[in-house]
Amino acid sequence: MKRLINFTIECENNDLSEWNLREWMETYATPKYVKTLKNADHLKEDKYYKKLLKMKSDAQYNLDKYIDSTK
C-alpha cells in the first residue's frame, strides 16, 4: 500500500520559479498530482466565500471519515 502526502508550497509569483519547482519535483519526488492554486487572500473576509470553504471542509472531513472507516 502506498501513502499519499499532500503539501502546499508558496513560491515567488513568476512562471520561472514555478517551472523550476515543478522540474525539481519531477526529478526528486515523482509527484502524482500538482496543481497551482489561485490566490484568494482578497476573499478571506467575504461571508459567501467563508460559507463555501466551510462546505468544502465538511465534505472533505466526511470523505476522509468514510475512507478511514472502510479500511
Going by pLDDT thresholds of 50, 70 and 90, the confidence category of residue 64 is very high
Reported as a single tens digit per residue, the pLDDT across 4-36 is: 888 888 888 899 999 999 999 999 988 888 888
pLDDT of residue 33: 86
- Phi, psi (degrees; rounded to nearest 5) at 48: -70, -40
Q: How many CA atoms lie within 13 A of 23 on its CB side?
A: 6
What are the E-state strand segments in 1-71? none
